[in-house]
Amino acid sequence: MDISAGILSGFQTVLNPINFLFCFIGVFIGTLVGVLPGIGPVGAMSILLPTTYGFSPVSSIIMLAGIFYGAMYGGSTTSILVNIPGEAASVVTCLDGYQMARKGRAGPALGISALGSFIGGTFSVIGLMFLVFPLAKAALSFGAPEYFALIVLSMTVVTYLASGSFIKALIMVLFGLILGTVGIDSTSGVARFTFGCVPLLDGIGLVPMAMGLFGISEVLMNLEIMLERTIFETKIRNLLPNLQDWKKSIGPIIRGSFMGFFLGILPGPSPVISSFLSYSIEKRISKDPTSFGKGAIEGVAGPETANNAATGGSFVPLLALGIPPNISMGILLGALMIHNVIPGPLLISQRPEIFWGIIVSMYIGNIMLVLLNLPLIGIWVQVLKIPYRLLMPLILLCCLIGAYSINNNIADVIIMNIFGVVGYALRKFDYEMAPLILAYILGPMLEAHFRTSLIMSDGNLSIFMERPISCVTLVISIILLLSTGFSYYRKMKGKVIT
């Protein structure tokens, strides 16, 4: 199927009333999640995973994907009007967006944010469409050793880019790998780490685990935080930026589109990294760097474009290789596996309706998001006034109903609550969830490819070094681990000396 035929097929899939509705629901919830500081796109995707069981894989993935990239749009609203980022990728937007609002320019700030996001998102979808084919074609020549090495690299980079302690990130990876082994071993049929508990024979479910770590723990964290949200009272007018605003913003938007897309392909929290890097570059090359932090529109246009472009780039390794580069894509991978869909190089040929449906839904979803974020800005301002004492019990109720509805089993509710308490404790001690979830999802794949590789080589570990791609990939992983470990050692040694 060529690209033009694929796009036509994708439009036929997405314009189906049910799929179109799910696309709208996804981007609407994504915008809502972005506007309301707290739960975040990963938490929302985790909570809504159970609702996808009764629907087709296409509808489910379209909705979950819409939540992911929709949250990037909504996050800018709180950053500009409240000076509180709706999610991590919008942190840098607070610096200039809120200052623009204080100067009576909230309208142009929101306008350039939405339009820049639309341009970045559209560019990333086009890039995804053209880049995923050669990458998937190359991946067809990969064997078990290459996939094992790529998964190792993916988890290594996530550890390397962790915002907190390297040791803590490494512990989370190991914890996730252990959790991934719970249940009956697919090769030997032996029960592992079940401790005689029958519900654990099938392993720990991704849905109750994710809902606990992100949904329940978020509710518990917010119970002890008294967050005051003071909306800057100003008339929001002139949402469309003027010619002078466009002259200042067009360069940052173009640079942010390219930068965000290619950073999105790499493992790690790409939307966050791309937005901060875009802001740094724009400030460095600006003729008036002192204006940044005081209401420079370039400081809004560049980062907002970059973080939305990164969302499209994140789909490239997931769809082409079947390897999620970040935690949101890990949740999407779990959703695909729940529906017996295996992402990777064969997805395009075996399930073209899903591949092209995702691509075209992102085109249509970006248009929906512009319509949701500009004309309806007054509604989102009112949503910001919802108190947490009403919001958090509703989230908790959704989690409880969702966990039970998976298998109509109280054991899933217990597992979710256990991981809710575990997630709360881990957050209190500054442990990150991303390495844990990615290791849990990728762990069984890592083990399967490792075993297959040893079968191919009669138990000889040298197979990983004899094949060029796996050798280079593993060497890069080792260098990253050693460099991070060495930096951590020097830092700790310096603290001991002082």
pLDDT the model gives residue 410: 86
Kindly report, residue by residue over 180-222, the tens digit of the pLDDT: 888 888 777 788 888 888 888 888 887 788 888 877 887 787 7
pLDDT tens for each residue of 152-191: 888 887 777 666 677 888 888 899 899 888 888 877 778 8
**Cα–Cα distance measured from residue 130 to residue 2, given in angstroms and rounded to the nearest whole number:** 11
Give pLDDT tens digits for 275-316: 878 888 888 888 888 888 888 888 888 888 888 888 888 888
Helix (H) or strand (E) holding 312: helix 298-321
The pLDDT of residue 225? 65
Higher pLDDT, 367 or 378: 367
Which residues have a Cβ under 8 Å from the Cβ of 461 and sit 6 or more positions away?
454
Residue in this structure with the two tokens 């696309």, named with its chain if needed = 23
Question: pLDDT confidence of 259, banded at 50, 70, 90?
Answer: confident
Sorting pLDDT into bands at 50, 70 and 90, what band is 18? very high
State the number of CA atoms in the 13 A half-sphere of 291 facing the CB.
13
Within 384-467, residue ranges assigned H as helices are 388-407, 410-428, 434-456, 463-466
Give the residue with greater pLDDT, 253 vs 380.
253
Q: What is the mean pLDDT of the chain?
A: 81
Distance CA 322, CA 412 (A): 27
pLDDT in tens, 306-356: 888 888 888 888 888 888 887 788 888 888 888 888 887 788 888 888 888
> How do the domains of the chain map onto residue ranges?
3-497
| Cα 301 to Cα 289: distance, rounded to the nearest angstrom | 15
Tens-digit pLDDT profile for residues 399-414: 787 777 777 788 888 8
What pLDDT, on a 0 to 100 scale, did the predictor assign at position 20? 92
User: Given this model, what pLDDT does residue 22 score?
Assistant: 92
Please state, in angstroms and rounded to a whole number, the distance separating the CA atoms of residues 27 and 129.
20
The top-scoring range by mean pLDDT among 1-15, 137-151, 367-381, 447-461 is 447-461
The residue that leads in pLDDT, 93 or 450, is 450
**32-90 pLDDT per residue, tens:** 887 776 667 777 787 788 777 778 888 888 998 888 888 877 777 777 777 666 666 67
